Structure formats: C-alpha cells, structure tokens
Amino acid sequence: MKRVRRGPLIAIAAIALVALLVPLLPLADPLHMDVVHHLSPPSLQYPLGQDEYGRDVLSRLLWGARTSLAVAAASASLACLFGTALGLAGGFMRGVAELVAVRSMDIVLCFPPLLLALLIVMLLGPGAATLIPVLAVLYTPGFVRVVYAGVLSVRSQDYVEAMRALGAGPSRIMLRTILPNVAGPLLVQFSLAAAAAVVLESGLSFLGLGVVPPAPSWGLMIGAARATMNQAPLLLVWPCAALSLTILAMNALCDALRDAVDPHTQPARLRRHAQPPPPPSRPATGTAVLDVRNLMVEIDTPHGTIQPVRDVSFTVRAGETLAIVGESGSGKTLTGLAIMGLLPPAAFVGQGSAWLQGHNLLRLDDAGFRRVRGGVLSMIFQDPLSSLNPVHRIGTQIAEAMHAHFEVAHFEAKEEVAALLDRVGMPDPERRARAYPHELSGGMRQRAMIAMAIANDPRLLIADEPTTALDVTIQAQVLDLLGDLQREFRMGLVFISHSLPLVAEIADRVLVMYAGEIVEQGDVREVFAAPMHPYTVALLQSAPRDDGTLPVSIPGAVPLPHAMPPGCGFAPRCGLREAACEAQHPPLVELASGRATRCLRWRELA
C-alpha cells in the first residue's frame, strides 16, 4: 500500500481529538438552561451565542460532535466486524455459508434504507443506543459485499493454495492470508460507512427519531434552530457547518485511502521533452524499410532519469526478419514500443530517429502516427485476448482497421474480411468473422490479430512475443503463417522474443540486447554458431539442451537501470572480465559482413 495523503488524515484526527477531549475543555454545561438570555447573539462568555433555551451553542456543538462521531464509529465498527465475518465465511467456505451471507444481505438491501431505519426505531424507541444497531444493520451489506468480492478474487490465488498445501486449517487461511489481502478495500468501505452514518444520525435526530433531547446532537440542533430561524439565523449555520466540514473531511479521507489502496490510480508523469532533437542525418536510402539511428528512451523516476534503451541503431530490409532478443529488462520491448509511438506515459524518446517510408516515426505527432500505424506499419502483441476489443465481433474489428485508412464500401469490406481470415488459415471464415474474441481459442485469436495487422498491406510488421502465450503445436502453426505472409507481402518483420531457439528458426538477422544496449548483432546463423560477445555465449549455454545435460546458468542478475556499472554493463557477470572492462564503456565494434559486438575482448572469442 502506498502512503496515505496527509491532509485528510490530519483533519479527521483533529476532529476526533476535539470530540475526545470535550469533557476536559473549560466549556459551559451543554444542558444548563438560561431562558432569560435565550437566542442571545455571540458574546465573550458564549462565543457562538445561546440557543432557544439559553444554552451555550459552542458547548452543545462540541458535545454534539462527540455523540455524532461516537454513533458513527460504533455503528460502522459493528457493521464492519459483522460484515467481514459473514463475507469471509461466505466467500471462503461457499455452500450454505455463501447462501446465508449473500442472500440475507440481498434481503436487507431490498428495503429503502431510511424506511428500514424508521421501522427499527419505531420498534425499539428512539435514542443513541438504538441508533447504533440500526445504522449497523444498514451498513452491514456494504461490508459483506466488499469482503465477499475480495475473498472470491483472493481465494483463487496460488498463495492460498500454497497455504492449503502446507496443511493450514481454514481459520488460519481466512484470518492470516485472506483478511490482510482484502483489508484495503475494507478500510475504504469503513470510512464511507462512517461518513454516511454521521449524516443519517443527524437526519434521524432531526426527525426526532435519533438522539433524545435534551442531549446535544447536530441533528437536534438543526431541528431546533429551524423553528427560530427568523429570530436567530446564525444558530442554523453552526451545526450545518460542523456537519458539512466533518463529512468533507471524511470523504477526502475516503479518496485518499482509495488512492493509497488502488494500484491503478498512480498519477502518470507526463513527458517533459515534447520532441527529440533533430536527427543527425537523413535516412540511408536503398532497400531498408526501417532505419533506426541512435534511439534513446528515457524514463523519469523518483530516483532521477533512467535510460532503459541507449544508442540502438539498426535497419530492416524488405522481406527480412530481424529478431531482437533479450531477457526482461533488456529494453527490447521498449525499443519496439518507441518505434510504434506507443511508449507508456512515463517514458519518452530522448534522441534518435526511425525512418519508415519517408516518415521519421520518432518525430510524428499523434495524428501523423494514426496515419502510419495500421497502414504501412502494423503490429501484433503477445496476448491477443487483451489486444482485441471484447465487445466487438472479430470481423467488425478487422473492417475497422481497413476503414481507418481507406474508403471501403460496407459489402466490399465484408468480403475482404472473409478473404483475410481465410488467408490467415481461419477455418470457416464467414462464420468466424461474426464471433466475439472470447469465443475463439488462443491460436485463432492470434490469427485474427494477424489478419488485422496485414489488412492494409503493411511494409513493416512488429511482432512482440507473438507466440509466447500459445502452445507449442499452435506456435508452430502461427510461425509458419507469419513466414508465408512475409514472403507473400515482402514486408520487413521485427520479431521481438526472449526465446533463442525460436529466433534461430525464424530470423535472418539478430540483435542481442542486454541492459538497454545492443551487445551483438549479425546474421542469425553466424551469431549463434560463433558468438562474439560473452553475454551471447552465456545466453546460448543457458538455453535448454538437446543432449540432456543441464543448462549452464549465468551468475548474478541484470544491473538495474539506475545502478549501471561505469564500464561494460555485463562485466560484473562476465568470465572474461579484466580491468579495462570495468574502466571504460566499450563501443559497438563493427566487423565484416554486418556483424558487430560491444566487447573489448571479442578477438579472443572469435
């Protein structure tokens, strides 16, 4: 959980402190009447004046806060305790407990809350002691629902299964494992219920169904002041102001808690540098479809600006497959996203250029990118289920991709979609075009994604781990399809993957990335047969073997972006390390036949 914002927390603490300390303050007796001076305006002795019986308004206001907050806290706590127990039992044990917990709360929710409260007060008689159970009953369903929903999502997690496997009993799992994990939303619900209870307490007291006079209460004060509104309008202001301020503070606390609990509301840092500096040179003409020069991606973090991608340059020719291979944190995915203009909000392009058909992709604005993306440049992602829109049919989504770039008549689009689906090997394409994404298997969804990507005859296709989520036999189908399509359309393919064997099978050239830099590049067969960087060597040795021996692991871990070693990034894990490696950052040495390595000692590897 993140830190809770200070302001609302302090406000609530101050209000609670005042309410707690009221008996110790030098205040007049809130019940002492002075009928002669009734409705007197504020004076030194009575800073907020006297009410219709001549009682001290300030004193009644503060004692009233005590009543209101005590009723709110007690009823919210009771509801929380009871609701949590029911929700936990219902969600974890299922069966009868679930039926009882959920359905009984549905019944409570069927009654309008005010009517239910009125009914119970009528039965039990008014008074603060009645209000607490009444409000508790009203707010229990909220807690049950929050806890029940939380338990349902937590109970399917592996760590709960692990506790069962360890032999833990149900009560231990519920209290020690599940409860802490639903505590966040529970806290938010508590502050919501307490705020609502303050309002409802005042409302019921105003109606004469809550706190019984002469005990002080905000609701009663508002009710009494209403009667004398013409003579002393100020009397109405004080309790209303107290009520509003308390509720405002409580709601602010709710928001602060929700922000602290919810991982999704982290404020995004906006890019500072709107445009990268102009590129140093014009694109190399010739057969290159994509020409990336000196790409640098930066991210602003609380620890300063980091550069997860540094000095990346490469070209992709028509009909060529270039693989970018690397482990997590190598910057391979960010490189792909930067080219597609899809960097997350916190990241931005620091410098560099990426030329595609006369456009510098890194300098395009949003409108420019929309023209390019899905047209000459298209992409497929790892998880087709989250990249397809779940509420639209597959065919509609493919047609939409076409409409975004060309004027296509409706019936033509329909035929075109069927032809495309047929081309990507979708069985029964006309029927499948009417299917929703969830009705298709993972392999078919990936085929649909590919159909969408090739709909506008792209020159460059960027595929980020397109088969990682698929089974091996399905992966084989998709790889075959990609190979066929590439030959047919003669498009450049950038294939981003962590799997060396996969890259060995599909790619023509390979870029090996480590900690944000290219460490080696070249023809895929040459690189894998005779690697010239120790990282490539180590990576190849850690890949699963055919001969049944255990793979050799690389000691240590990838350095963090804000703790890069001054010299070679791989030096701390490298067996060939010498003093020079740690002193200076090695440049990318260009060798013959398009190979390059970022190692000072490459000659000893060759």
Partner 1 sequence: MTALVVAENLSRRFGERGWLSRTPPVQAVTEVSLSLDRGEAVALVGESGSGKTTLGRMLLGLLQPSAGRVSFDGIDLAIVGAAQRRQLRRRMQIVFQDPQSSLDPRRTVGAQIADGLEIHNIVPPSDRRARVSELLARVGLSSVHADRYPHQFSGGQRQRIGIARALATEPEFLLADEPVSSLDVSVQAQVLDLLADLRTRLGLALLFISHDLAVVRSLCEHVAVMYLGRVMETGPVTHVFDAPRHPYTQALLSAVPRLDAARRRTRILLPGDPPSPANPPSGCVFRTRCPIAIGACAAAVPALIDGVACIRA
Residue 285 lies near partner 1 (rule: CB under 8 A): no
Residue 520 three-state SS: strand
Whole-angstrom distance, CA of residue 221 vs CA of residue 202: 9
Residue 496 lies near partner 1 (rule: CB under 8 A): no
Residue 358 lies near partner 1 (rule: CB under 8 A): no
Residue 307 lies near partner 1 (rule: CB under 8 A): no
State whether the Cα torsion 57-61-66-70 is positive or negative.
positive
Which H or E run contains 596?
A: strand 596-597
Q: How many C-beta atoms lie closer than 10 Å to residue 432's C-beta?
A: 21
Residue 355 three-state SS: strand
Residue 266 lies near partner 1 (rule: CB under 8 A): no
Residue 577 lies near partner 1 (rule: CB under 8 A): no
The footprint of partner 1 on residues 389-448 (CB under 8 A) is 427, 441-444
Give the CA distances from residue 487 to residues 254, 481, 491, 493, in Å, rounded to whole numbers and listed in that order.
Answer: 58, 10, 7, 10
**Site size toward partner 1, by CB under 8 A:** 59
Query: What residues contact 42, with CB distance under 8 A and at least 6 apart?
Result: 48, 49, 234
Residue 159 lies near partner 1 (rule: CB under 8 A): yes
Residue 563 lies near partner 1 (rule: CB under 8 A): no
Choose, by CB under 8 A, the member of 230, 285, 328, 593 that binds partner 1: 328
Q: How many C-beta atoms lie closer than 10 Å to residue 463's C-beta?
A: 25
Please report how close the Cβ of residue 488 comes to partner 1 at its closest, in angstroms: 18
In this structure, which amino acid lies at residue 477? Q
Span of 292-300, 345-353, 368-376, 546-554 interacting with partner 1 by CB under 8 A: 546-554
State whether the Cα torsion 245-251-253-256 is positive or negative.
negative
Q: What are phi and psi of 106, to 5 degrees?
A: -60, -40
Span of 85-93, 109-117, 177-185, 357-365 interacting with partner 1 by CB under 8 A: 177-185
Minimum CB distance to partner 1 smaller for 200 or for 506 = 506
Residue 376 three-state SS: coil
Q: What are phi and psi of 310, to 5 degrees?
A: -130, 130
Choose, by CB under 8 A, the member of 259, 327, 422, 523 that binds partner 1: 327
Query: What residues contact 171, with CB distance under 8 A and at least 6 apart?
Result: none
Please report how close the Cβ of residue 265 comes to partner 1 at its closest, in angstroms: 17
Span of 281-289, 353-361, 390-398, 550-558 interacting with partner 1 by CB under 8 A: 550-558
Choose, by CB under 8 A, the member of 20, 42, 114, 157 that binds partner 1: 157
In this structure, which amino acid lies at residue 354? A
Peptide bond into 216 cis (omega under 30): no
Span of 5-13, 179-187, 234-242, 380-388 interacting with partner 1 by CB under 8 A: 179-187
Choose, by CB under 8 A, the member of 455, 496, 500, 519 that binds partner 1: 500
The footprint of partner 1 on residues 437-476 (CB under 8 A) is 441-444, 471-476
Minimum CB distance to partner 1 smaller for 102 or for 404 = 102
Residues within the interface to partner 1 (CB under 8 A): 157-159, 161-169, 172, 176-177, 180-181, 183, 327-328, 427, 441-444, 471-477, 479-480, 498-502, 504-505, 525, 528, 538-540, 542-546, 548-554, 557
